[in-house]
Amino acid sequence: MGGTGAGGGEMARAGKEKNTVEQPADANMIPIYIMNKLYYVPDGLTIMRAMEHAGYRLVRGVGCRGGFCGACATTYRVEGAYRLHMALACQDLAVPNMHLTQLPYFPARKATYNLEEIADPALQVMTLYPELANCMGCNTCNKACPQGLKVMEYVAAMLRGDLEEAAELSFDCVMCGLCTARCPAEITQYQAAMYARRAYGRFSSPRPRHLDERLTELREGKFAAEVEGLTKLDAAALKKLYVSRDMETPTGGFAKAVGK
């Protein structure tokens, strides 16, 4: 992330010294503070787009732009209010008079392990992450999670040795680290949950039948000719094939993709 201070921010330098913000002539612009510097940005932008409008070139704190990678963890307060908000910059909208900064990295502990050498996966979570036992049930992690996950509950599930429940409750975790940044017990919830999902997947979840069927088909060479044909296509033919592929629709079922 690098700030130039250019763009929309140059259009106004409201009375910051007086701790008041003059409203811009254009009512569609809102004042926001990025790392304590005032900018005016169009209303309705995500925090990420607002930062870019203000002249920031994001080289850290950005990834998928779709709410999946967790790279854009952001914290902000609205001027005059006490509450600290946690957000994903690519998902949450900029609001007037917000003071924001990004946390593109949080120095959390990550245990290392080899799943093949684990005898008791449920017990092992306490060996790898003994600090889980320090959870005081304060609910701060739940309030911090921009995904709205039941973080405290998945921590409790790990403490009970219920890795299936922990895996289920943490499934939509994007590893942003905001829960860990706020935890008074200094627990690395999302890394422990990653272990829970891996261990559950490795030791307990039923092996899907379709996976075995597809592996058998691959080994028997069912797709060999098709793959061989693909390797002979040029870039234009590959592109045409790609854009006309079947795609899953949001309402279920499949539709043909429409390319440009």
Binding site for ligand FES (CB under 6 A): 62-65, 67-72, 88-90, 174
35 vs 138 by CB, closer to ligand SF4: 138
Per the document, the length of the chain is 260
Q: How far is the CB of 131 from ligand SF4 (least distance, A)?
A: 9
Q: Residue 72 touches which of ligand FES, ligand SF4, none (CB < 5 to 8 A by kind)?
A: ligand FES
Place of tokens 């779709």: 66
90: number of Cβ within 10 Å: 22
DSSP secondary structure string, 83-125? Answer: PPEEEETTTSBP-TTEEEEE-S----------GGG-S-HHHHH
Report in angstroms how near the CB of residue 149 gets to ligand FES at its nearest. 14
Q: How far is the CB of 201 from ligand SF4 (least distance, A)?
A: 17
Residues between 33 and 72 with contacts to ligand SF4, criterion CB under 6 A: 70
User: How would DSSP label each residue in 135-183?
Assistant: -----HHHHH-TT---HHHHHHHHHTT-HHHHHHHTTT-----HHHHH-
Query: Cβ contacts of residue 51 below 8 Å, gap of 6+?
Result: 1, 34, 58, 89
Nearest distance, CB of residue 53 and ligand FES, angstroms: 16
Query: Which one of residues 5, 44, 130, 184 is an interface residue with ligand SF4 (CB under 6 A)?
Result: 184
From 5-13, 57-65, 180-188, 235-243, span contacting ligand SF4 (CB under 6 A): 180-188
Q: Bridge-partner residues for 203, per DSSP?
A: none
Show the binding pattern over residues 132-171: x = contacts ligand SF4 (CB under 6 A), - = does not.
---xxxxxxx--xx-x-x-xx--x----------------
- 55 vs 67 by CB, closer to ligand FES: 67
174 binding ligand SF4? (CB under 6 A): yes
Query: Which residue, 125 or 187, is less far from ligand SF4 as judged by CB?
Result: 187
Cβ-proximal residues to 27 (8 Å cutoff; 6+ apart), any chain: none
Give rounded-to-5 percent helix, strand, coil for the chain: 40, 15, 45
Look at residue 25 and give its three-state secondary structure. coil
State the Cα–Cα distance between residues 164 and 69, nearest whole angstrom: 23
From the list ligand SF4, ligand FES, none, partner contacted by residue 189 (C-beta under 5 to 8 A by kind): ligand SF4
DSSP annotation of 246: E
What are the backbone dihedrals phi and psi of residue 250, each rounded to the nearest 5 degrees, phi first?
-60, -25
C-beta closer to ligand FES: residue 8 or 70: 70
Q: Which is nearer to ligand FES, 49 or 99 (CB)?
A: 49
What residues line the site for ligand SF4 (CB under 6 A)? Answer: 70, 135-141, 144-145, 147, 149, 151-152, 155, 173-179, 183-185, 187, 189-190
